[in-house]
Structure 1
């Protein structure tokens, strides 16, 4: 059985009943907010779709984009959207990278390097990322 996405970290921002504490990434869906489509179960206090798929309703707390990872077997991806103002890059990247799920970091860092080189050719992507991560 795969490890839960959030394990042993009592300081993680995921709710105590979040499916991320019990299931691996890809074994639960993430919604933007609670909806009638994923009501609370009176039996255990968790949210589920009608097919039994566990649902997290706080993407910002688990660092995963809202998507139907389990119910529609969607791959885990994240898109970076750099701000047009280069002076906002460090703060934007800091927030995105520190709020992202660890499984997304490699992809986000690669996207940042590529987009900084393309959109801001006078900036050193490594230096910008170092500042964002410090």
Structure 2
């Protein structure tokens, strides 16, 4: 069996009953917020879709965009959308990278590395990423 996304990290922001604590990425859906579409099941304490798919209802806590990963086979992607000014760049990247699921980091760093010189030609990409990650 594949290892759970959050694993044994008790300090992770995911709720104690989040499917990310017991299932790998792709084996559960992520909804924007709690809703009737994914009711709480008092029998085991988890939320499920009408189709029986486990659901996380706090995308900001698990660092995954809301999507039907299990139910729809949604691709696991996030898009880097750089801020309007260079002054906002490091704080934006810091929040983006620290808030993202670890499985997304390689792709996000790759996107940032390609987009930074396109949007901010005079910016040192490596130094900017170092500052964002420190």
Partner of 1:117: 117
Alignment size in residue pairs: 134
Partner of 2:55: 55
Partner of 2:77: 77
Query: Could you list the runs of 5+ residues in structure 2 that have no partner in the other structure?
Result: none
- TM-score by length of structure 1 reads 0.98
Query: Could you list the runs of 5+ residues in structure 1 that have no partner in the other structure?
Result: none
Deviation at 1:35, TM superposition (A): 1.2
Partner of 1:30: 30
Deviation at 1:75, TM superposition (A): 1.3
Partner of 1:106: 106
Over 2 Å off, 4+ runs? none
Write the deviation string for residues 100-127 of structure 1: whole angstroms up to 9, x where unpaired. Answer: 1000000000111111010000001111
- TM-score by length of structure 2 reads 0.98
Deviation at 1:46, TM superposition (A): 0.6
Instruction: Please give the secondary structure, in 1, of the residue aligned with 2:95.
Output: helix
